[in-house]
């Protein structure tokens, strides 16, 4: 596993062989145990964050398309029962799930109101406020699902540069301490150790840059979906108040 991780790190930065500096793999495998541990940790962060990036990109793309399709269906269909039946086939749409929560609460309220009227009872059932709370609860659940695992991307973006910097500082310190065991104090004596150490910083940036770009992009797209859920909620509440909960 250690050898595989070292090869992944080296292959990420080898852009071409030139002269005697064409073997980054040798520098990685020849680094000290602390620097190697830092590199393996950064490789773990990088691989995991890329898996999350691919998963979230697909999840948000499906959610946006399904929500657009549901909103189009909602405004084209005049019957809420038909819309509810269609929403059951759009489990990937956050807006559809918000509608289902509001619709189910609306049905419960109208049914209870009708029964109270038939029994000539005066009962405060909560009205439109109940529907609003149900929709807000559903919207919060959908946002929680969409934002899941984004914390790891934020952690990768903020922590990996410093982890890489730690590996670099440690490697450079180790290289300079090694001067005491040599007869030479020239730059050539510490250059290989410094080069090995700098790979840690490069690996940290390699892990952090995609993570921070993806995190910002996903956060913006989730905010758009959140705004769509809010706007749809307001429209649905207006319809419910005008036609069902007078």
Q: Is pLDDT of 243 > 50?
A: yes
- Mean pLDDT along residues 50-74: 95
pLDDT on residue 120: 58
- Look at residue 150 in the predicted model and tell me its pLDDT: 94
Q: For residue 80, what are its two tokens?
A: 């809420």
Could you give the 3-state DSSP secondary structure of residue 64? helix
The pair of structure tokens assigned to 28 is 């990685």
Q: How large a percentage of the chain has pLDDT more than 90?
A: 46
Measure the CA dihedral 211/216/221/222, to 10°.
90
Q: Length of the chain, please?
A: 246
Is residue 2 predicted with pLDDT exceeding 60? no
- Alpha helix stretches (DSSP H) within 90-186: 94-118, 128-147, 150-177
For the chain, what percentages of helix, strand and coil (3-state, to nearest 5) are there?
85, 0, 15
- Say what the pLDDT of residue 210 is: 96
Find the helix packing angle between 2-13 and 187-243, rounded to 10°.
Answer: 90
Q: In this model, does residue 112 exceed pLDDT 80?
A: no
Domain ranges of the chain: 32-243
Using the structure block, give the residue that is written with the tokens 């946002």: 143
- Tens-digit pLDDT profile for residues 170-183: 878 777 776 665 65
Please state, in angstroms and rounded to a whole number, the distance separating the CA atoms of residues 40 and 8: 9
3-class state of residue 88 by DSSP: coil
Separate counts of helices (H) and strands (E) for the chain? 8, 0
∠ CA 165-170-174 to the nearest 5 degrees? 150
CA-CA distance, 168 to 118, in Å (whole number)?
78
Residue 166 makes CB contacts below 8 A (sequence gap 6+) with 38, 200
Report yes or no: 24 and 10 within 8 Å, Cβ to Cβ. Answer: yes
221-237 average pLDDT score: 94
Of these ranges, 1-10, 25-34, 59-68, 189-198, the one predicted with the greatest mean pLDDT is: 59-68
Amino acid 47: pLDDT: 96
């Amino acid at each position: 596993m250690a050898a595989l991780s070292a090869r992944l790190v080296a292959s990420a930065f080898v852009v071409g062989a030139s002269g005697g500096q064409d073997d980054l793999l040798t520098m990685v495998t020849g680094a000290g145990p602390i620097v190697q541990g830092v590199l393996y940790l950064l490789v773990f962060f990088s691989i995991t964050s890329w898996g999350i990036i691919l998963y979230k990109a697909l999840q948000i793309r499906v959610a946006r398309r399904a929500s657009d399709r549901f909103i189009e269906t909602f405004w084209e269909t005049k019957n809420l029962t038909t819309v509810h039946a269609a929403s059951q086939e759009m489990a990937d749409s956050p807006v559809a799930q918000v509608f289902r929560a509001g619709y189910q609460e609306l049905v419960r309220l109208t049914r209870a109101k009708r029964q109270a009227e038939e029994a000539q009872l005066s009962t405060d059932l909560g009205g439109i406020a109940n529907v609003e709370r149900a929709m807000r609860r559903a919207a919060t659940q959908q946002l929680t699902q969409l934002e899941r695992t984004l914390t790891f991307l934020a952690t990768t973006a903020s922590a990996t540069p410093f982890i890489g910097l730690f590996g670099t500082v440690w490697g450079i310190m180790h290289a300079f301490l090694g001067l005491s065991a040599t007869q030479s104090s020239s730059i050539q004596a510490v250059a290989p150790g410094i080069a090995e150490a700098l790979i840690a910083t490069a690996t940290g940036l390699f892990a952090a840059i995609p993570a921070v770009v993806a995190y910002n992009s996903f956060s913006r797209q989730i905010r758009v979906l959140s705004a769509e859920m809010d706007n749809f909620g307001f429209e649905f509440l207006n319809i419910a108040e005008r036609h069902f909960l007078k």
